């Protein structure tokens, strides 16, 4: 999908920073704001911190990016949207991996009592160790 077209499609103006941010997240899946900033500045050294945060929000609101916030770590962004997949987070280094949900509507995702809340989405985060941290013995 053409990034420019994707932006226009959602009524977003096509700007250099937006294209670069979108592309950077594509190249670095699960990148945090700082990684995106650094990456974008490689080819567009003048972008401001706020521009990046701004763009990330705009793209997230437009449904082009998905925001992930693992407890205790800065927010990450990914381009894989629209499918029902979840994440594994490493207790050691915070690395993130994708996990496809084997069963779309597992029993556990239809809670028994909801305390009166209207439920819209279920979000699953698995916690464990990535191969690198396991090898390093980070128990």
Partner DNA sequence: CACCGTTCCTGGAATCATTCAAGTAAACGC
Partner DNA sequence: GCGTTTACTTGAATGATTCCAGGAACGGTG
Task: Rank residues 8 and 105 by Cβ distance to DNA and give the closer one.
Answer: 8
Task: Rank residues 55 and 130 by Cβ distance to DNA and give the closer one.
Answer: 55
Q: Which of 55, 89, 96, 130 binds DNA (CB under 7 A)?
A: 55
Least distance in Å: CB of 8 to its own copies? 26
- Which residues touch 97 (CB under 8 Å, ≥6 apart)? 87, 88, 130
Structure token pair of residue 80: 């894989």
Give bridge partners of residue 99 from the DSSP assignment: 86
The answer to whether 29 touches 65, Cβ cutoff 8 Å, is no
Q: Which of 72, 82, 137, 139 binds its own copies (CB under 8 A)?
A: 72
x/- binding map, residues 6-45, to DNA, per CB under 7 A? Answer: --x---xxxxxxx-------------xxx-----------
Task: Rank residues 50 and 112 by Cβ distance to DNA and give the closer one.
Answer: 50
CA separation for the pair 93, 98 (Å, rounded): 16
Least distance in Å: CB of 73 to DNA? 8
Nearest 10 degrees: CA dihedral of 26, 31, 33, 34?
Answer: -110
Burial string for 91-116 (b: 16+ CB within 10 Å, else e) reads ebebbbeeeeeeeeeeeeeeeeeeee
> Which residues are at the interface with DNA (CB under 7 A)?
8, 12-18, 32-34, 46-51, 53-55, 57-58, 69, 74-75
> Which residues are at the interface with its own copies (CB under 8 A)?
67, 69, 71-72, 75, 86, 88, 90-91, 97-103, 106-131, 134
């Amino acid at each position: 999908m053409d990034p420019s077209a994707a932006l226009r499609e959602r009524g977003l103006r096509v700007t250099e920073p937006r294209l670069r941010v979108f592309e950077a997240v594509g190249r670095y899946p699960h990148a945090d704001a700082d990684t995106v900033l650094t990456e974008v500045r490689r080819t567009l050294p003048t972008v401001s911190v706020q521009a990046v945060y701004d763009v990330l929000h705009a793209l997230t609101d437009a449904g082009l990016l998905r925001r992930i916030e693992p407890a205790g770590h800065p927010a990450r962004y990914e381009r894989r949207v629209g499918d029902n997949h979840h994440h594994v987070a490493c207790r050691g280094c915070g690395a993130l991996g994708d996990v496809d949900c084997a069963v779309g509507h597992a029993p556990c995702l239809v809670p028994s009592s909801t305390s009166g809340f209207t439920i819209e989405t279920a979000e699953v985060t698995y916690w464990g160790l990535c191969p690198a941290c396991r090898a390093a013995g980070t128990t």
